[in-house]
Amino acid sequence: MRVTDITMPSGITARPRDDRGYPVPAITPWEDGVPQFASTSMRRVFLCVEERRCTVCGREMQPGPVWRVVDGEDAEMISALLDIGKAYLNPAPTGEAPGHRTCMIYAAMVCPYLSSPEGRRGEASNMYGANIPKGDARGVGGGIVAYNDYGFEQTQVGPGVVYGKPVEIISYNRAEDLRDELAASIAADETVIGKAPNWLGEDEQLTEAAFRRAMLSPAERQALEAKKRATQVRKRQQKQARASRKKNR
């Protein structure tokens, strides 16, 4: 299945594109005007989690379950436990934040690693002590999982996204298996609501500024807002003064 044959959700259609015309996920960093698809910006992940934004399209997610793509053994275990009604809770952090159901189905279909058993990782990963080499194959089976809760937490092995309990799974092996699921999800496309902020676009300086604001304490935020209001009042007064002088000439 070609990427161009797969219908994009509305939110993804609005994303910035690379030179090939491919949409760039909200958590993908940019360098010299080029999206770094093999990398994930943890600053962007943190901001998306804090504002409950989809990490693919960057738009807000409504209350309710959030979705994430898992592969191989995780998908098999979650599916088995849901079938017998047993709870599954994994307190380990991950750098992978969730998104809309529609966006995650689309991502599973177009991502070279997630879309087929032969898919391989473009870069090595050693986050949280899991040393995964470049070229590691996805293997058989995958799933788009709905979780009842999630958050960005500080854990013993470092900060990351921690998920609550899985409540649903869409199992698949290849992108083709998800065609009907995507069509049904787009029919009730939740990504038409709102828009992604400019700090989830191509400018990493805007992302950095948004991250720094998010790191401020409540007192620091209050002081910053007070300074901003004072600046706005001063500019308004200056504008009024200029208008008055011009009128009196």
| Rounded alpha-carbon distances, angstroms, from residue 27 to 55, 72, 111, 115 | 6, 23, 14, 19
For residues 245 and 140, give the distance between their C-alpha atoms in angstroms, rounded to a whole number: 75
pLDDT digits (tens, 9 = 90+) for 83-95: 888 877 778 888 8
> pLDDT-derived band of residue 240, with 50, 70 and 90 as boundaries?
confident
Give yes or no for residue 190 having a pLDDT over 70. Answer: yes
pLDDT digits (tens, 9 = 90+) for 104-134: 999 999 988 888 888 776 665 555 556 565 6
Which pLDDT score, from 0 to 100, does residue 122 have? 63
- Nearest in space to 151 (alpha carbons), one of 106, 78, 98: 98
Give yes or no for residue 239 having a pLDDT over 60. Answer: yes
The residues spanned by each domain of the chain are 3-212, 223-248
For residues 24 and 8, give the distance between their C-alpha atoms in angstroms, rounded to a whole number: 12
pLDDT digits (tens, 9 = 90+) for 46-76: 999 999 999 999 999 999 999 999 988 888 8
